[in-house]
Structure 1
Amino acid sequence: MITNVFWGHMWVPVGVLASLQYFIYQWWVALEQLQQQHPMDHNLLELKMVQVVFQGVRGVLSSFSPTGGAGPIVIHTGEASPQVLYPNYHNCWSLWERTRGQRQAASLQPGTSEDLKKVKEGMGIASSDGVDFLILLDNMAAEQVHCLLNCPMLKRFSWIIEQNCGHGLTCAKKSLHMAVGPFLYLLESNLVKAVDLATAPGKR
């Protein structure tokens, strides 16, 4: 996401918000330890980090719920090895270089570069070369999910941003395969396992 201060609005990655909350809690515990000379309980510190992560997950899941996540949400966890990992283009230089051609092809779509220039100028970030429509869309989603202050200009250009993101994704079939493929494979595996368990001799 964009790292910029715009009209008093701090743009930071969503994960940074959780890390900042955990850091503040860790600092508060350390301060209490100095004032009261009580030993720090690292188990409680780790538990707090888990709670912070779950709160972040709840915020993401609430965007998919028609009730806004007002009711209870059950989160099933598992080992890290079977988890679906998605490509991170902005923090992996090698992946960023490999997909340079795809991004250039997407930017050459009719009207795309003009729309991006218009949006960036309207938001006052025309000199930010690393900003594209996907980053802007990520900011829009973060504002909604985490109830952040809405940027008026970002909301004004929301339709243009969403439309150009759709056009850009159609030019990046490999990126779609990398992101959607693992999820579909995991979904298929779970369905096959469920069918096998249902048709097992002991279940008939």
Structure 2
Amino acid sequence: MESPATARRLVLVVDDDALLREYLGEVLRHAGHDTIEAGTSAQALRAIEERGRDVALAMLDISMPGMSGLDLARLLREETEIPFMFLSANDDAASARAAAEAGAVGYVVKPVDAPRLLAALEAALARGDDIRRLRRSETSLSSALAAGRETSIAVGVLMARFRIDRQLAFDVLRDQARSQRRKLGEVAEQILAAEETMNALHGAIVERLRNK
């Protein structure tokens, strides 16, 4: 079975040099990958709107007229999960540092030969997959922790309102969720919302009694 990094992947190639773009596409397709090719950042963004969910990696020319590869990379990092690597005519430390700071998973200096390009591509794909998994696990963990906090607070509300111990409060909450075929966190949210409403009503009643 092929690993994710070596399986057939869709690569977005963005370079204003048409001949180089054609060459890169041929190399990638010969290696078993699919490509989308764009001559400008604007074309790349249109392609992403159409097929962004399928793109495994964006290969960006770091310097292009109009929106540069660096600017496009910042948009990708902020608004998508698409990892990116850079192609650059410059091999100076400043360009490499700018690429790293932008969050690139790879950096290849032109002129590019096929073996070096493919080695860098596979490494970038693997790194991109790792980053995606990390982001998704962090999101799942954050959601789980938030749900856990809400459940804990809801249990405390039940304990205080009905003067029962923590285990009984949790058991009642869990059984309620099961009977309604809902997630535990959803029932906890409902309890907390109801508690907030009751507290607001209690405050309003107290205020009216004071003003009599």
Q: TM-score, normalised by structure 1?
A: 0.25
Q: Which of the two has higher C-alpha Rg?
A: 2
- Structure number with the bigger relative contact order (C-alpha 8 A, sep ≥ 6) is 1
